[in-house]
Amino acid sequence: MTTEHRDKPLRVVGAYAAQPDEAHERRAFLEEVLSLPGVDGLEISWGAPGWEQDAPLLADALGSDRPNNRGGRGGHVLTLIGAAATMAAKAPSVGLASPDPDGRERAIQLVASAREAALDYLTRGQRIVAVELQSFPTLAQADAGLGGEALERSLCEILSWDWGSVAVVLEHCDARTATLPWQKGLLPLDIEIQAVAAAAARSPTPTGMAVNWGRSAIEERDGAAPERHVHRLRSAGLLRGVMFSGATDRDGAYGMAWSDVHPPLREQMPDSVMDRLKVAATLAAAAGSGLLYDGVKVAVRPPQTTVKDRIAAIRGTLAALDGTSPLPLDPRAR
């Protein structure tokens, strides 16, 4: 079943990618992020490494009696990317798309725990718009078809649960290919589409898919790929989220070229392939598609970057989403 269409998606920030290393600085950082114009909430990396530190800070910052709770307009997204990637790194058979029954069951249990967390947020007056899943594990191309069948089985079970008002969204990550190096190396987009569409047809739970700009660019080594992926998901009637996270086409401050490290806009960091025009083209491709949310997730370098400059990196990418010009970052933040 598809989700209801809204005129304007919620705008969220994956603040965890840019948060300071020092826990005592994170509270003020979160407050500033939530105070940025047009920001409705956060993309929260639930269950990821460091969650024990982040959870109480988030609970306080998102308290229902705080000014940044926007009177029903606010909302957040829980992503399992950190938790799922950590599990898959420790046990390569673990994932929703795993042909191994035990590995698939472990991944389903992770989603069950995330569902409980999402419902708990709701009981505390904090709206969770969606929970983002990913099609781990990394599989050889010859096994991608089996992975798609396993993903469909997993989604059918997951969508049979009572999610209340929370949508279940599969985030497309860069797929494993025969010719290019990969980062996440998950299932091809068309196989994910087939699995999500088949599972959605059997359940009333709102569902769909999301594009992460940087991971789509990494997959094809092409800054035009995210727009193509958005068009493909829109044609399939499954587009529910777009997150703007950059990628680099050369080695530099953000590491090796085409790494999954979330650089900001090219206008702020010249090595990035994500610029204002590509952001605008991707948003135009998504317009009118029934997006639940859009947003930004950018990281900063070096680690000692100030909170002020971290906020500037986020603000710059948000400006591109609004069609305005971002200010250059302080060179010390590169």
3-state SS track over 152-197: HHHHHHHHCCCCCCCEEEEEECCECCCCCCCCCCECCHHHHHHHHH
Report which DSSP code applies to 206.
-
315 found inside a domain: yes
Number of structural domains found in the chain:
1
CA distance 165 to 62: 18
Residue carrying structure tokens 């010719």: 179
- Asked whether the beta carbons of 87 and 105 are under 8 A apart, the reply is no
146 found inside a domain: yes
5 found inside a domain: no
Q: What residue numbers bound the domain in which 61 lies? A: 10-333
pLDDT of res. 7: 65
pLDDT of res. 73: 54
1 found inside a domain: no
- Asked whether the beta carbons of 78 and 115 are under 8 A apart, the reply is no
Going by C-alpha positions, the residue among 37, 69, 44 that lies closest to residue 58 is 44
| Host H or E run for residue 279 | helix 276-286
- What φ, ψ does residue 231 adopt, rounded to 5°? -60, -40
- What φ, ψ does residue 238 adopt, rounded to 5°? -120, 0
Q: How many residues does the chain have?
A: 334
Give burial (CB, 10 Å; 0-12/13-18/19+) of 68.
Answer: middle
CATH code of the domain containing 55: 3.20.20.150
Which amino acid, one-letter code, is at 229?
H
CA distance 39 to 214: 20
CA distance 96 to 155: 8
CA distance 163 to 266: 39
pLDDT of res. 302: 87
DSSP β-ladder status, 128-133 and 167-172 = parallel
4 found inside a domain: no
3 found inside a domain: no
Report which DSSP code applies to 115.
H
Summary count for the chain: helices (H), strands (E): 10, 8
Task: Provide long-range contacts, Cβ within 8 A and 24+ apart, for 59-62.
Answer: 59/124, 60/27, 61/27, 61/30, 61/31, 61/34, 62/34, 62/121, 62/126
CA distance 158 to 199: 9
86 found inside a domain: yes
Residue-level pLDDT, tens digit, the chain, 334 residues: 444 444 689 999 999 999 998 888 998 999 999 999 999 999 999 999 999 999 998 988 887 444 444 444 589 999 999 999 999 999 999 999 999 999 999 999 999 999 999 999 999 989 999 999 999 999 999 999 999 999 999 999 999 999 999 999 999 999 998 888 899 999 999 999 999 999 999 999 999 999 999 999 999 999 999 999 999 999 999 999 999 999 999 999 999 999 999 999 999 999 999 999 999 999 999 998 889 999 999 999 988 899 999 999 999 999 999 987 655 555 444 4
CA distance 62 to 34: 9
301 found inside a domain: yes
